[in-house]
Structure 1
Amino acid sequence: MSNEISATEVVDRESFIRFLGSLRKQFENNPGIWENTKLGDFLEALEMYTEDVQGYYNNVYPGINADIPSWRIFADILKGASMYE
């Protein structure tokens, strides 16, 4: 069984912690799939993706409102920032 957890499975603090561990392991084991491997680039992408995340939800998960914070939204933003250009 895989240790990986997707952002869609993040529903509480405990699953968010598991998600963070999975995200860290992904970066350590395969940094080449990350668009933003430097902290400054990642933080910039985090800012930009947080601004744009509602558009993602409107297209993929129309029932989610990014203005209502949740553990899943935090996870989606972190995952999105890893690949946001």
Structure 2
Amino acid sequence: MSNPYETGRFAAVSDVNQVASRDDVARVVREMADDLRRNPGAWENSTLERFLDALSVSLTALPNLYANRGESFPDQPNWKILAETLVMASGYE
């Protein structure tokens, strides 16, 4: 980040809308780890403590995220939701 008021970004990963399996989520996690290694100062939540705090908030905020997109939040979680939440936690403010 170039100035103290600039916030970080979400992890740069392939399209999470295409996630449909455990292997897809594993790929997203690998891409997140690779992105963090390449760009350690770019993420909003680049430490484990900050990431876990943001993950908790992200899980709570998911129904609102879906509502804001005009979508119904699924009754049963799926692999896509897990991948979305992990990426969301990397940059959640």
TM-score, structure 1 as length reference:
0.84
Distance 2:54 2:47 in 1: 11
1:54 aligned to 2:60?
Answer: no
Find the counterpart in structure 2 of residue 71 from structure 1. 79
RMSD over aligned Cα, in angstroms? 1.5
Distance 1:61 1:22 in 2: 28
Distance 1:52 1:16 in 2: 20
Q: What SS does structure 2 have at the residue aligned with 1:69?
A: coil
TM-score, structure 2 as length reference:
0.77
**Which ranges in structure 1 are unaligned for 5 or more consecutive residues?**
none
Structure 2 residue corresponding to 1:21, chosen from 22, 26, 30 = 30
Distance 2:78 2:41 in 1: 29
Distance 1:24 1:84 in 2: 17
Structure having the higher helix fraction is 1
2:89 counterpart letter in structure 1: A
Find the counterpart in structure 1 of residue 43 from structure 2. 34
**Which ranges in structure 2 are unaligned for 5 or more consecutive residues?**
1-12
Which structure's CA Rg is the greater one? 2
Instruction: Count residues with an aligned counterpart.
Output: 81
Shift of 1:58: 1.3
Shift of 1:42: 0.7
